Amino acid sequence: MPEAWWCLSWIWTTSKNFDPERSGPGGTILRGSSFLPRRIDWCRGGMCMKPILSILGGDMRQVYLARLLLEDGKDVITWGLEKGGAPKGVGLDQALRAGVLLLPLPVCRGGRLNLPLTDTELEAGRLWPRLRYDQLLLGGMTEELSGRVMTDFGLTLLDYYDREETQIANAVPTAEGALQLAMEATDRTIHGSRCLVIGYGRIGQMVGRKGQALGMKVLSVVHRNKPEGCECETMRFVSMDELLAQSDIIVLCAPGGGKALVDAESLPKMKDGVVIVNVSRGSNVDEGALLEALESGKVRAAGLDVWMSEKDPNWALAQHPAVSCTPHVGAGTKEAQKRIGAEIVDIIESFGK
């Protein structure tokens, strides 16, 4: 049997009779229809189809992924990644005609497609009507979005980040990158230091384990359910104020919320000479307050992988001599992107079976 990657073809069927008047432009199935996907022949009329993979937006992780997939012989085009130097850039109309669309991780921010590497903005609600029901959409952290695009537009959106393998592929290098930033941001050893990990999900736990292996005393605080079985002599949970006062290094791994975790209110509670590392969301740090704390010496150094605005970062902060920064590539190692690329190819191949 030919490889599924090159022979993906499928149709939509429904338990009810198809009603043409319920079909929108380009075959879009409108709200209320009950279509379900069913895959059929790999090839039609003996001719195998070679679907093009279009990578739409995202950050440097998508740029690296595009390069690796091209090196692997896949037919890839990109849009919305020009500031990252992505290969095979095309216009939006051409990008939207591809058989498989790879959307960012996460897909949307504030109702717009996640596009930090282009000056273009695209409302997500204006994207879906332009797509066809016979396209496969892959996105990261789609949450309730998948159900909405199926119900309203008859599209299939699969969450590639929902897989355990993909989350691990993202978490391991991000955790290693956080510790690397911590070491680059200070001239002292991290062995024996107290490390506060704010947000103890998959990445936070990975940072904690690797920090312990390097001889750090790891502390953490969580706002949701506390993971069981991880507290020991060198790992315990305490209150936020206690953590801030005791910690030599603070690593932010929590999802972005309405209020910054590092701001003018929390910084005075921190230990003098603290090192702050952010590999979570730019909104977790008040960049102006952090810059003032760096200037005063309250914060010894900072390692930043994310920014409030990735299109226009705070250059005064980025160029500060006590700041080590990277362009949101905490998970951008070649090995991690190869694993994520393999997972995406596997999803596409599985979808065609």
- Is 252 part of a structural domain of the chain? yes
Same domain for 229 and 257, yes or no, is: yes
pLDDT confidence tier of residue 223, bands split at 50, 70 and 90 = low
Q: What does the pLDDT read at residue 1?
A: 32
Q: What does the pLDDT read at residue 59?
A: 84
- Which of 162, 195, 212 marks a domain boundary? 162
Residue 24: is its pLDDT beyond 50? Answer: no
CATH number of the structural domain spanning residue 65? 3.40.50.720
- Is 344 part of a structural domain of the chain? no
What's the number of domains the chain is made of? 2
How many angstroms separate the CA atoms of 116 and 58, rounded? 7
27 token code pair: 């075959």
Same domain for 132 and 175, yes or no, is: no
Residue 224: active-site member: no
Residue 123: active-site member: no
Same domain for 94 and 195, yes or no, is: no
Q: What does the pLDDT read at residue 341?
A: 65
Same domain for 134 and 179, yes or no, is: no
Same domain for 216 and 123, yes or no, is: no
Q: What does the pLDDT read at residue 6?
A: 31
Same domain for 307 and 238, yes or no, is: yes
- Which of 126, 144, 162 marks a domain boundary? 162
Same domain for 118 and 24, yes or no, is: yes
Residue listed under structure tokens 């590999």: 279
Residue 310: is its pLDDT beyond 80? Answer: no
* Cis peptide upstream of residue 106 (ω within 30 degrees of 0): yes
Q: 184, 292, 310, 349: which is the annotated catalytic residue? A: 310
Same domain for 110 and 248, yes or no, is: no
pLDDT confidence tier of residue 334, bands split at 50, 70 and 90 = low
- Is 214 part of a structural domain of the chain? yes
- Is 331 part of a structural domain of the chain? no
Per residue in 43-80, pLDDT (tens digit) is 444 444 456 899 999 887 788 888 888 888 889 999 99
- Is 339 part of a structural domain of the chain? no
How many angstroms separate the CA atoms of 288 and 317, rounded? 8
More confident residue, 22 or 352: 352
Per residue in 240-261, pLDDT (tens digit) is 888 899 899 998 988 876 789 9
Q: 281, 300, 320, 339: which is the annotated catalytic residue? A: 281
Q: What does the pLDDT read at residue 306?
A: 79
Using CA of residue 336, residue 95, residue 114, residue 158, what is the dihedral sign?
negative
- Is 343 part of a structural domain of the chain? no
More confident residue, 280 or 285: 285
CA neighbor of 251 nearest in space, from 309, 314, 319, 179: 179
Same domain for 144 and 20, yes or no, is: yes
Helical spans, DSSP H, in the chain: 4-7, 60-71, 92-95, 124-127, 145-153, 164-184, 202-213, 240-246, 287-296, 315-318, 334-351
How many angstroms separate the CA atoms of 11 and 38, rounded? 6
- Which of 162, 178, 194 marks a domain boundary? 162
Per residue in 81-121, pLDDT (tens digit) is 999 899 999 999 999 999 899 999 889 888 899 998 999 99
Q: What does the pLDDT read at residue 340?
A: 63
Q: What residues contact residue 309 under an 8 Å CB cut-off, 6+ apart?
A: 282
Same domain for 117 and 177, yes or no, is: no
Domain interval for residue 261: 166-325
Same domain for 115 and 232, yes or no, is: no
Mean pLDDT taken over the chain: 76
Helix (H/G/I), strand (E/B), else coil: 277: strand
Q: 61, 300, 328, 339: which is the annotated catalytic residue? A: 328
How many angstroms separate the CA atoms of 110 and 112, rounded? 6
Same domain for 25 and 170, yes or no, is: no
More confident residue, 263 or 72: 263
- Is 225 part of a structural domain of the chain? yes
- Is 74 part of a structural domain of the chain? yes
Residue 132: active-site member: no
| Burial class, 258, CB count within 10 angstroms (exposed 0-12 / middle 13-18 / buried 19+) | exposed
